[in-house]
Structure 1
Amino acid sequence: MATNLWRLDIPLEGNPLKNLNSYLITGEERSLLIDTGFRQDSCRRALTDQLAETGVDRETLDIFLTHLHSDHTGLAPDFVGAGGRIYISETDGAGLRLGLTDGYWRDMYEEYVREGFPREEIDRLWLANPAQGAAPRNWSAGCVTLRDGDRLSYGGVTLRCILTPGHTPGHMCLYGEEPRWLFSGDHVLFHITPNICRWQSMPDALGCYLESLEKLRGLPTERLLPGHRKETGDLDTRIGQLEEHHRHRLNEVLDIVGSAPGRTAYEIAGRMRWSIRSTWREFPVQQKFFALGECLAHLDYLERRGRICRRERDGLIRYSLLP
């Protein structure tokens, strides 16, 4: 891609995301690896082989994680060099540690059951959810947390940290100021739209995401480096497309809620349009989990703005329009 910039294509087998773009910036003393893939053998082999092709000394590797999701963080402790640093935002660093506990997932799954997710499907997620099973282990070693505006320097490039909450509470992009590189993680994707779901620590995830998109508008960018698939077009155009996507989503949710008051979020999600080509009944349970999370983020956005209300009845939360 450039004399000291490499894109590593890490396959995400059986996952609709298809791949992770891991990036490497090489330097004379230390090199920086951006995102790593799941803690799975297929990701480990691909990352090992492609790093060898670059000729980088793995003992000099530091790692930057755009956010806490396991397809980005899973292999970080295994690939950081001796005495190296693993960078992540302060918020997502705390969230990642919390997500390594069974209690965190138990509480989330119980919340999803109250939102209508069938208990028998939730029970299957304990064995099938890669967000749970492919996350990193032995997380504490070498972790350095970052805040908005912090700077790193690798290979002669100064990288500014831009905090962009929404996809996760502490998602962070990296902006190379002189070459105008933007490592956008999962904040701005091109062939697919980032999943925006409910987070306990971020009551209005969609609102935060839309505000974070504005932080990047007008940023001079020569090279766009997203976390998945390939880049297409320019940054401001894509920001507009993502905003329009969520406007359509919000209207879709309002129409579904209005057509039959008292549905659960699970029932609403089952009536939304998804790019996956199967009926809601045939959806893989992992994809239902992410679809429900996105539905909840849109319901939360509408509730906070006085468009809908939620009421609990018989242990389930149901949604209706407000006048």
Structure 2
Amino acid sequence: MAKGLYKRVWDVPEIYRVRLPFSNLKKGSSNCYIVKSGSESLIVDTGAYSPEARDLFVGATDELGVDVKASKVFLTHMHFDHAEMAPHLLPAGARVYASAIGVKARTPEETERSQELFFRRMLANGATEDDARAYRACNAETAFIDQSLFDVRYVKEGDALSVGDASFRVIATPGHTADHLCLYEPNRGILFGGDAVLYTTTPSIDPLPGKLDAYAMFIETLERLRSLPLRCVLLGHGGASYHPLGERVDQIIEKKEHKLERVLEAVRGVPYCTGETAARLSLHRTMEAWRAFSPMQRYYAMLECFVSIQHLMAQGRIERTFDDNTKVYRHRAL
């Protein structure tokens, strides 16, 4: 085995982890998993595209004797660090299993529409036009699966995906993204968890349109994953775990609740504040310190604050009104 190409993380079925590099807030890596059982193989997530990541993927599949075109490819969600390399690397006709929500949201037409809505949402939350454009650039996702080139098969809650004698069950796990899916093998207690739970960081939550409560969906997903009897947990980032998720779920919920209270505290402290002001104050930052953040850092802070506000509104703890004079939303605690 070429040093560092892959690591075996489970024996039956054989499961190998390939770490693929990407760059966002900082340089990191995401996990691609290769499952081998009998003459069949399954690839879970393909990572972000770069020449280095492509070479690592090709090197690992070649050395493991995996025929990518004959393999099933499962995408936990359509974030770039999990799915961007798929259209660059997979041969025409490759079978790709993914959520219909995620695939359809990444068409060029839908991406343009959603990016324009996102830009307007940022303006309505108090961002300047220049900042809103920068946040829109940060929000751009580049994973697009052309259904005319690949055999795309939509999967949903309860669907089965087999590889050799292993039968995985699809679990809908919205929260981190609306389209997030996990794969669970109940007989062996194996979970491919994507970014629904992470040990390396607290997963972000993508905001949903209208008054939909993404925070509540995320917590419901965590509680559901907590209940699974697990022996092998394989996530989108970091190493494998061989224990149930209860302790980590508790830690994530505690951090999310702490953030929620900080947002509520910010709105109480500055009644009728904008979303951007709430985001800044929830981090206890002066305006100068806020402006010193990179656009990507402010973008993530804005998203987290928006999701928190949506949840607090659903709980009846915050009221949001639209200011016709300034064309922004104003928030006050109830």
Find the counterpart in structure 2 of residue 143 from structure 1. Answer: 152
Which among 225, 229, 233 is matched to residue 220 of structure 1?
229
| Structure 2 CA distance for partners of 1:202 and 1:319, relative to 1, 3 Å | closer
Q: Distance in 2 between matches of 1:170 and 1:69?
A: 10
Q: Structure 2 CA distance, aligned partners of 1:92 and 1:10?
A: 21
Correspondence for 2:3: none
1:7 aligns with 2:21: no
Looking at structure 1, the residues matched to 107 and 172 of structure 2 have their Cα atoms a distance apart, in angstroms, of 19
Confirm whether residue 62 of structure 1 aligns to residue 72 of structure 2: yes
2-structure distance, mates of 1:188, 1:272 = 23
SS in 2 for 1:12: strand
CA contact (8 A) 2:189 2:229 kept: yes
Give the match for residue 49 of structure 1: 59
Q: 2:328 aligns with which of 307, 316, 323?
A: 316
Residue type matched to 2:46 in 1?
Answer: T
Residues 86, 192 of structure 1: alpha-carbon distance in 2 compared, 3 angstrom cutoff: same
The yes-or-no answer on 1:156 pairing with 2:165 is yes
CA drift at 1:229: 2.0
Q: Which runs of structure 2 are paired with 1:108-119 in the superposition (5 Å)?
A: 108-119=118-129
Cα distance change of structure 1 residues 17 and 203 upon mapping to structure 2, 3 Å threshold: farther
- TM-score, normalising length from structure 2? 0.87
Cα distance in 2 between the residues matched to 1:112 and 1:42: 34
**Which residue of the partner structure matches residue 184 of structure 2?**
175
- Corresponding residue for 2:317? 307
Change (3 A) 1:136 1:48: farther
Aligned to 2:140: 132
- Contact 1:13–1:42 (CA<8 Å) still a contact in 2? no
Matches of 2:159 and 2:210, distance apart in 1 = 23
Matches within 5 A, 1:234-313: 234-273=244-283, 279-313=289-323
SS at match of 1:18: strand
- In the alignment of these two chains, the number of paired residues is 317
Structure 1 pair 237–99 and aligned structure 2 pair: CA distance change class (3 A): farther
Q: CA contact under 8 A between 1:92 and 1:170: conserved in structure 2? A: yes
TM superposition shift of 1:234: 3.9
Q: Residue type matched to 2:142 in 1?
A: A
Q: Which moved more, 1:95-104 or 1:261-270?
A: 95-104
Deviates more, 1:4-13 or 1:196-205: 196-205
Deviation at 1:31, TM superposition (A): 1.5
Which residue identity is paired with 2:101?
T
Looking at structure 2, the residues matched to 227 and 210 of structure 1 have their Cα atoms a distance apart, in angstroms, of 18
90-99 or 224-233, which deviates more: 90-99
Q: Helix, strand or coil: the match of 1:101?
A: helix
Q: CA deviation at 1:191?
A: 1.7
Counterparts of 1:281 and 1:204 in 2: how far apart (Å)?
29
**Residue range with higher mean Cα deviation, 133-142 or 250-259:** 133-142
Q: What residue in structure 1 maps to residue 28 of structure 2? A: 18
Q: Distance in 1 between matches of 2:290 and 2:63?
A: 42
Q: Is the 8 A contact 2:159 2:169 kept in 1?
A: yes
Normalised TM-score (structure 1): 0.90
Look up the SS of the partner of 2:72 in the other structure: strand
Report the CA distance between 1:9 and its aligned residue.
Answer: 0.2
TM-superposition CA deviations, 1:151-171 (whole Å, max 9, x none): 111142111111111111121
What code does the residue aligned with 1:134 have? Answer: T
Question: Within 5 A, what are the aligned runs for 1:190-201?
Answer: 190-200=199-209
Partner of 1:116: helix, strand, or coil? coil
CA spacing shift, 1:78–1:61, aligned 2, 3 Å? farther
SS at match of 1:102: helix
Alignment of 1:201-220 (within 5 A): 203-220=212-229
In structure 2, the CA distance between the partners of 1:135 and 1:84, relative to structure 1 (3 Å rule), is closer
Give the C-alpha shift of residue 147 in structure 1: 1.3
The separation in 1 between residues aligned to 2:202 and 2:109, in whole angstroms, is: 24
Counterpart CA distance in 2 for 1:272 and 1:295 is 8
- Over 3 Å counting, the alpha-carbon distance change for 1:204 and 1:98 in structure 2 is farther
Query: Post-superposition shift, 1:271?
Result: 2.2
Answer whether contact 2:176 2:206 (CA < 8 A) is retained: yes
Shift of 1:67: 1.1
Instruction: Rate the CA distance shift 1:267–1:214 in 2: closer, same or farther, 3 A.
Output: same
Indicate which of 93, 101, 104 corresponds to 1:94: 104
